[in-house]
Amino acid sequence: MDVTKKLIIRPETVETIFDYYQKEKLLVNRRYQRKLVWTLDEKENFIDSLSLSYPVPLFLVAEIMYKGDTIIEIIDGMQRLNAITSFIEGEFPLHGRFFDLETIAETKYLLDKGYLKQKQPKLNRELCKNIASYQLPLSVSIFNEESAIDDIFKRINSNGKHLSSQELRQAGSTSTFGRIVRKLSENIRGDVSHSDRLTLNNMKKISINNTQLSYGINMGGIFWRKHGIITNENLRGSRDEELIANLLSAILIKPTPAATSNNLNKFYDGDIEIENEIRKLGEQYIVAMFEAVFSAIRQTFESTRSSFSKIVFHEKTEYVNRSFQVFFIAFYELLVKEELKIVNYAKMATYLEGKGDKYLTAHAEFYNLSKQREEGIEIVKGLIRQFFVKRKENDPALNNGVIKLETLLGSSETEGTNYDFKIGLHRMDQKGLFDEQCFEKVLKTLAAIANAGKESIGYVVIGVADNVSAAKIHDNHYNTKSTAYKNFFVTGIQCEANKYKTHDDYIRNIANRIKTSKLSPSKYKDQILRNLDYFNYYDKAILIFRIETDKEPVKYGDRFFERQGTSTVEIDKDKEASVWQRILL
């Protein structure tokens, strides 16, 4: 552990912490930090302690350099800091009364500017002052290596009082297995982010909330809760990640390992067998394949507007979680190993009504053990095989558009500069010709994203509107209905693609325009062409352009471009050297 100077214990007032928050000086690293999961009662109880001047536990933080600035990375105390900032912003009351925004200078400024609104009734201003002046105990260190912070986080939580066993496994895990589990878990929950490091301000956008809060991800809408597989409390404790880890190990290792804590600990510690299997198959393929199987299960049990637990079990059972695992692996073996495809999702769901009561419940308690789980898998395969036929596609993941698009849309909420969205590439007028100016903007945007830095990756998605007005214009023109997802509207480009003889001709036309475009160096043209991704999101056709910085900046014509927020702007000639510096230094 490389600590560059002595540990400092210093007090910081609540007012100062809120100022750090407003200036986006509080950083969260999702590699080891868990989700924002405190309930409103837990938040209010903590604020009540501050109002009573009760002592509170130490906050552990590190001063680090991030994007050229010194900021504070939170090691321990994220839930408490979020409680403080959200209380001051008026997201919840204390004893039925809200923080008086005229108490401190920063909130009064935000109130005057209209960035915050005063909720009623207001808390006594004297009490608000006492809370704002409360001195929080911060333990501050400065580190040269990120691994030091990981190690401290795991040590302070190693007694299990703060984190669940699964959260401890995942915290700071450097294994490929752990990285894949976390990626899959975030994609399915919907709390994806463009990078591991986020400001505390952005964390609430992907936090798991209940219906009492208006932001973040609604607990009831998450797949695991919607289908009655994992309870609210267990979801907060990352039991969904544990479930995915068990499924992933069952897919990768034969004979199937038992779903035990000891085995999961071994896999997270970099078990040679499972890491070699991941290297052999490739991380990208494993993720795509897992998500394809998951999509098939989701489509099956949502085809009748019901849920997994309600369909499979009509009688109460404690082992829905373990039964879901045998279903997942059964789907995997039929879709991937036997190269089959589902012919009728709704008929299969209807057929499975109550089948769990008859065939699974008696043995589900032991489905964490290898032998019994294999027996359960064979039972499920016997039940559902009649709804599968041989497929022509070599890889079931080829048609996995649902999670792929939702992940991009979710990531864009926290890092909008790396994403752009277009409804289509044809004009919405009587002639409907290809929009040359729009396509030129797409290429300039791709160039601008690549010019952000040496590790920049970005996407331009065609077939998505980022506001309701644009979606309505599209729907009225083509007489279609957009599909809403979060703050986006999936319009699809199938209508403009239908103008061509085939959809392949549509893609071929776009590919030819990329080849003859003004992008340089030419390796970026080749990269964009290799990564062109055309697929269906339900009944909507989607096209995704992807670009990644490759050792030198990108020009369009004779000029460089960059992203400023969600806008693409041309760089002045006298500032072009800065683009090279971003990528080379």
- CATH number at 442 reads 3.30.950
Tokens of 421: 């969205």
Q: Is residue 281 part of a domain?
A: yes
Same domain for 149 and 98: yes
Q: Is residue 332 part of a domain?
A: yes
Same domain for 408 and 366: no
Q: Is residue 165 part of a domain?
A: no
Name the strands in the sheet holding 419-422, side by side, starting at the edge strand that comes first in the sequence: 419-422, 457-462, 540-548, 533-537
Q: What are phi and psi of 292, to 5 degrees?
A: -65, -45
367-377 burial code (b ≥16 CB/10 A, e <16) = bbbeebbbebb
Same domain for 368 and 303: yes
C-alpha 77: how far from chain center: 22
Q: Report cis status (omega within 30 of 0) of the bond before 57.
A: no
Same domain for 471 and 336: no
Distances (CA, A) of 75 to 28, 58, 59, 149: 8, 11, 8, 7
CA pair distance 461, 323, nearest whole angstrom: 37
Q: Is residue 262 part of a domain?
A: yes
For residue 273, the enclosing domain spans 218-398
Q: Is residue 193 part of a domain?
A: no
Q: Is residue 197 part of a domain?
A: no
Q: Is residue 176 part of a domain?
A: no
Same domain for 383 and 267: yes
CA pair distance 553, 558, nearest whole angstrom: 12
**For residue 131, is pLDDT > 60?**
yes
Tokens of 467: 């506001």
Yes or no: say if 553 and 561 are a contact pair by the CB < 8 Å rule: no
**Domain count across the chain:** 3
Please state the pTM of the whole predicted model: 0.72
Q: What is the pLDDT of residues 30-85, one digit of tens each?
A: 877 777 878 889 999 999 999 999 999 999 898 888 877 888 999 889 999 999 99
CA pair distance 425, 270, nearest whole angstrom: 46
CA pair distance 328, 246, nearest whole angstrom: 11
What is the four-CA torsion angle of 438, 440, 446, 451, rounded to 10 degrees?
Answer: -130
Q: What is the pLDDT of residues 303-318, one digit of tens each?
A: 999 999 999 999 999 9
Same domain for 138 and 60: yes
Q: What is the pLDDT of residues 420-467, one digit of tens each?
A: 999 999 999 999 999 999 999 999 999 999 999 888 899 999 999 999
Q: What are phi and psi of 519, to 5 degrees?
A: -70, 140
**For residue 1, is pLDDT > 60?**
no
Spell out the residues 6+ positions from residue 511 whose beta carbon is closer than 8 angstroms to its own.
529, 532
User: Nearest to residue 21, comparing CAs of 92, 87, 67?
Assistant: 87
Same domain for 409 and 389: no
Average pLDDT value over all residues in the chain: 88
**For residue 283, is pLDDT > 90?**
no
Q: What is the pLDDT of residues 551-568, one digit of tens each?
A: 899 999 999 999 998 899
Task: Give the type of residue at 370.
Answer: S
Helix/strand/coil for 563: strand
